[in-house]
Chains A and B, each alone.
Chain A
Amino acid sequence: MSGKKNSRASLRNISKAQVLMILGFGFIVVAAVILVSSLAIRKTDEVLKNKVISLTSSLNVQMKLNMDSYLSRMETIATLAFGESEAYTYDATDPNNDEYEAINTEKKISERLFSLCIMENFVDYGIVYRNNRTVGKISNGTSTLFGDKIFSELSSMISRPRTNDGWSTGYGNNFKRIYYVKKVHENAVLFISFYASELDAVFDNPETLSDMDIRLVNQDKNIIYSKNTEELGSPLPTEISSRIEGKISASVLDNEYLVSLDSCGGWFVVCSIPTPIILNEKNEMTTYIYFTAGVAAFLAVLVALLLSYRIISPIRKTVSSLDDKARIDLLTGILNKRSFEEYAGNCLANSLESERHALIILDIDNFKGVNDTLGHAYGDKVLEKTGEILRSTFSDDDYLGRIGGDEFCILVNTRFDSSDKFDAFLLEKCKELSSAYHEYYSGRDGDYKISASMGVALWPDNGRSFEEMYSACDSALYRSKKSGRDTFTFYDANTESEGTENE
């Protein structure tokens, strides 16, 4: 194996750290986005609901004020009748009345009443006496509805003792008319009436709240006014009334309905709208926030990737460089002594006895002579060339190392299914190495011969640890040197003299 293999392992660790960093950052960003989005949605929801309920409440108050103002105006017009003295002094039931005078008085009162209501859409505006005689404008509908009970029935509508007046509707189950009745004296009541549809102008809600139902209900929560005239007289729908039960003035918002209630005299103005309609924008806003948060998270992760790349890239280069410097012999490009011993030692320590490895020590013969004769620069070239020869001879599975000035070591890991084949392979490699030196030399000056001596030890026959293997290998090298150099020797523990061959 070359140094690249170890370098890759180191870089893989950095890559793992990078991935962990990105994942961690991504997780934090996504968690933060979810948290912020949730808080934003919650806060938005809260603010929106408060605003909506506040606006609805304001609308309800405005409707109540409109209604108060309208009723007040009606009462004022009715009360102006008292500006004509005959209106409150004349009694049509008085048996002492002169009939002719009575007719003229009634004409005078009628004219006064006409002049007061001339611009109003009143259905009725008149005075009714205990004998059911009427003065002023009394509609056919009212005459038909009350018949000869008109005085007693109208009198019963007076509900406010202080002002001796009252508002009423629903007489004879007719909710199309609204009555205002005021006592004139013991035998007369003044009354006005108008169609409930007149309240359209009072309860004309803004276009933006066109889905809002506005109703006027009485004490029993029966509907007095609604744009949907079909529900006049009906009880307020349960889903509305249940939310304002026992309340006089309140606004209630839950997941189904927004209901606002305000009292208006003896009646109540009720505004209601289904929550999903009034808060329709909330869902859109939630979607918008989630979408924005998603985009933000994506961008954040993208930026994180970019930044991590920018941060990790030089680190990777630096680490790779330092790692190489620490492991690699710079001159030859193969492992230095410490790294080789570490890797080879670990490899052998983790190997089974069934596996096949071989340790080769190569020593350049008479390298001092090369330096002295050809110079140190050329010596370095020879060492450099040795690195090339080793890399070209062995595969990436094999460990190559420079363990001394001119001493190299190879742990052969190439797999074979039989010892014979492995031995033959080793023999072949040793020959290739020797030939390589010969060829290298032959192309040069010719005045100096360069060769190498090698010792070979086999796992596990010649040793069961790196140290044992190295020792056996060293012995074999010694024998090669001893036998005249430029040769290789397989270690033989028994004979220590056998297996030496010359090229």
Chain B
Amino acid sequence: MNRFSKLIALALSAVMLLLSGCTEDPVVRKQTNQVQITLSWWGNDSRNEYTIAAVQRFEKLHPEIKVKCSYSEWSGYEARSQVQMISGTEADVMQINVGWLAKYSPDGNGYYDLEKLADTVDLSNFSSEMLDYGRRNGVLNAIPIAMNAETVYINKSVYDSFGVSVPQTWDDLFRAADVFRKHGIFALAGASKSIWLYCIAYAEQQTGKTFFTDNGEINFSAGEFKVMIEFYDRLVKEKVIPKVEDFQRFNIDNGAYAGVVAWVSDALNYYKGVIEKGSEIIAAGYTADDPSKAGSGWYAKPATLYALSRNTEHPKEAAMLLDFMLNSTEWAELQGVEKGIPLSASVRKYLDETGKLSGLQYEASQVMENNKLIRPMNSVIEDSALYETFIDACDLVLFNKATADEAASQLCKTYAEKYKMRQDSAS
């Protein structure tokens, strides 16, 4: 083989090698493998909007995690959560009500044990006393966000314009209604649950009995329920409040409601627009027979809690989101005091330093925190079936379908079918 032939052979070999390198390999494109977790909450528009925005911040910080949101207003959320908890399709991270701990996790196994994720969730921002609100059977099922209580908000501008002083007592309230009535203004208004709790406060003060015994049984009997029903009947008939069925959100804005009973966490939800229009809104003291007894019959609770699903497939990522929601300044900046004054020490410090611990919601929190008579709430008291049944009973009286005695007696029997009642109360 001469040199030329060798050269040709070499060139051909090179070409063959090149061609063998050009064989069609399968095209493989790697996709970012995102972990998807779900987050659910209840709330109003502002909460929905800032939560969605805050979730986007989290996703930006952690592009490997996708958060799917599920939200609703309270009543819809409660029903949705029940369906999800029972069917095992609950969200990885959940905003829960304190009452659900007893309902879904009686033995402490209904939610994820958050202390197993303490390396991701900074629990040191919370006092053990606060964390105890989220424990069931010694297991840390949830972490409270803030404390909450029903509060009396008064549109002082409206009250002042009619020369009516801010009501401190029940009598003040009825006197105010005497002035407002002829002008088509209600001295106070509220949604079903708020009015339910307002009536309980009245009844407890009038009867000296608490709604629950220390053992969690319903302590009220037909007599106390009659007091509540008659009180509601009087409130409506004397046009102190509108029927709960007639409660319309926009009447707060237009001044038709001169006051509202609502949660601390609802202060800005209800009054942000009104305040922006220049009206002065104040968090009044808890209504009582005597101002010195303000807070008696009123209850405080953790506003909401965050829990993780016991079935979550991504506890690490869920915990990252949980910590972001509880302790990060990024989240706190958007949330502010919308859910009440946060219990997280680091968030509270951040809000204080940035001047965000102010305004109506903060004032309402201060009223709650400074009150010595307000007591921790038994979460069962918020059960929707409990207060809806009460409103039904009130309507029977209101529309002359039954007497107060009959309605109270019937209410007592209905409760006895579903709830634990003190033995002599059910009769």
Contact = CB atoms under 8 A, between A and B. Distances in A.
Interface of A: 99-100, 103-104, 106-107, 114-115, 117-123, 132, 134, 137-141, 143-144, 146-148, 150, 176, 195, 197, 201, 207-208, 303, 306, 310
Contacts of B86: none
Contact of B83 (A118, A121, A134, A208): A118
A195 B401 contact: no
A325 B344 CA distance: 110
Contact of A99 (B29, B75, B399): B399
Interface stretch (B105-113, B248-256, B291-299): B248-256
Interface string B225-251: 000000000000000000101001110
Interface of B: 4, 7, 11, 29, 31-32, 44-46, 48-49, 52, 68-73, 75-76, 79-80, 83, 243, 245, 248-250, 253-254, 269-270, 273, 395, 398-399, 401
A201 B36 CA distance: 13
A200 to B, nearest CB: 9
A148 B83 CA distance: 35
A121 B71 contact: yes
9 contacts: A106-B245, A107-B245, A118-B76, A122-B72, A137-B76, A143-B249, A148-B250, A176-B49, A197-B52
Contact of B45 (A104, A106, A140, A310): A140
Nearest to B44: A140
A140 B44 CA distance: 7
Nearest to B70: A121
Contacts of B4: 306, 310
A100 B399 CA distance: 6
Nearest to B244: A103
Nearest to B80: A118
A140 B260 CA distance: 14
Given A99-B399, A100-B399, A195 B273 contact: no
A65 to B, nearest CB: 21
A143 B401 CA distance: 32
Contact of A141 (B44, B71, B72, B254): B44
Contacts, number: 77
Residue among A103, A107, A132, A140 facing the most chain B CB atoms (10 A cut-off) = A140
A139 B249 CA distance: 8
Nearest to B45: A141
B174 to A, nearest CB: 23
A80 B72 CA distance: 19
Contacts of A120: 72
Contact of A121 (B32, B72, B79, B250): B72
Given A104-B395, A139-B44, A195-B49, 4 more contacts: A114-B79, A121-B72, A137-B73, A303-B11
Nearest to A100: B399
B80 A119 contact: yes
A137 B48 CA distance: 15
In the A-B complex, the 3 residue pairs with the smallest Cβ-Cβ separation, listed nearest first, are: A141-B45, A100-B399, A143-B249
Contacts of B248: 132, 134, 143
A208 B27 CA distance: 14
A138 B269 CA distance: 14
B73 A139 contact: yes
Most chain B beta-carbon neighbours within 10 Å: one of A106, A115, A137, A146: A137
A407 to B, nearest CB: 46
Nearest to B245: A103
B253 A114 contact: no
B253 A147 contact: yes
B48 A147 contact: no
A139 B45 contact: yes
B71 to A, nearest CB: 6
A140 B249 CA distance: 6
Contacts of A118: 72, 76, 79-80, 83
A176 to B, nearest CB: 7
Given A100-B401, A118-B76, A207-B32, A123 B7 contact: no
Contacts of B44: 139-141
B43 to A, nearest CB: 10
Contacts of B70: 121
